[in-house]
Structure 1
Amino acid sequence: MMTISNSRQYQIGVIIILFLSSFIAPVIFLYPVQELFFRPKESYFFDPFFTAYIILMVVMIMLAVTLLVNFLVEPKTKKRMIIQRGLVGTSFIIAGAFIFLCINNYQFIDTKGLHMNHLFSLQEDYISWEDIVKVEQTIVEKNGVSAPEKLIFSLQDGSTIELSFSGKLSSAKQFINKELSTYGLRIENKYSET
Structure 2
Amino acid sequence: MATTETNRKQTQVAIVIVLFISSFIAPFIVLFPVQELLYRPSEFYLFDTVFKAYFILMFALLGLAMILLINLLIAPKTKKGRTIQRTIVGTSWLLVLASFVLCINHYQIIDEKGLHINPFFSLQEDVTSWDDIVKVEQTNVQKDGVTKPDKLIFTLTDGTTIEQSLSAKLTKAKPFINLELSKKGLAIENVY
TM-score, normalising length from structure 2? 0.94
Amino acid at match of 2:85: Q
- Cα deviations by residue, 1:34-78 (Å, 9 ceiling, x for unpaired): 121112121111122222111111100110011111111112223
The residue that corresponds to 1:133 in the other structure is 134
- Cα deviations by residue, 1:81-111 (Å, 9 ceiling, x for unpaired): 2222122111111221111111111111001
**1:12-91 matches, cutoff 5 A:** 12-91=13-92
Query: Helix, strand or coil for the counterpart of 1:22?
Result: helix
Unaligned runs of 5+ in 1: none
4+ long deviations beyond 4 Å: none
Amino acid at match of 1:61: L
Amino acid at match of 1:180: L
Please, what is the CA RMSD of the aligned residues? 1.4
The residue that corresponds to 1:148 in the other structure is 149
Unaligned runs of 5+ in 2: none
The residue that corresponds to 2:185 in the other structure is 184
Query: Helix, strand or coil for the counterpart of 2:148?
Result: strand
The residue that corresponds to 1:124 in the other structure is 125
Q: Distance in 2 between matches of 1:159 and 1:81?
A: 51
Amino acid at match of 1:139: N
**Which piece of structure 1 moves more, 56-65 or 21-30?**
21-30
Q: Distance in 1 between matches of 2:106 and 2:138?
A: 24
Q: Distance in 2 between matches of 1:103 and 1:8?
A: 32
Amino acid at match of 2:116: H
Query: Helix, strand or coil for the counterpart of 1:189?
Result: strand
Amino acid at match of 1:8: K
Query: Helix, strand or coil for the counterpart of 2:24?
Result: coil
Amino acid at match of 2:144: N
Identity of aligned residues (%): 60
Amino acid at match of 1:34: Q
Query: Helix, strand or coil for the counterpart of 2:138?
Result: strand
TM-score, normalising length from structure 1? 0.93
Q: Distance in 2 between matches of 1:131 and 1:78?
A: 60
Post-superposition offset of 1:136: 0.8
Amino acid at match of 2:14: G
Aligned residue pairs: how many?
191
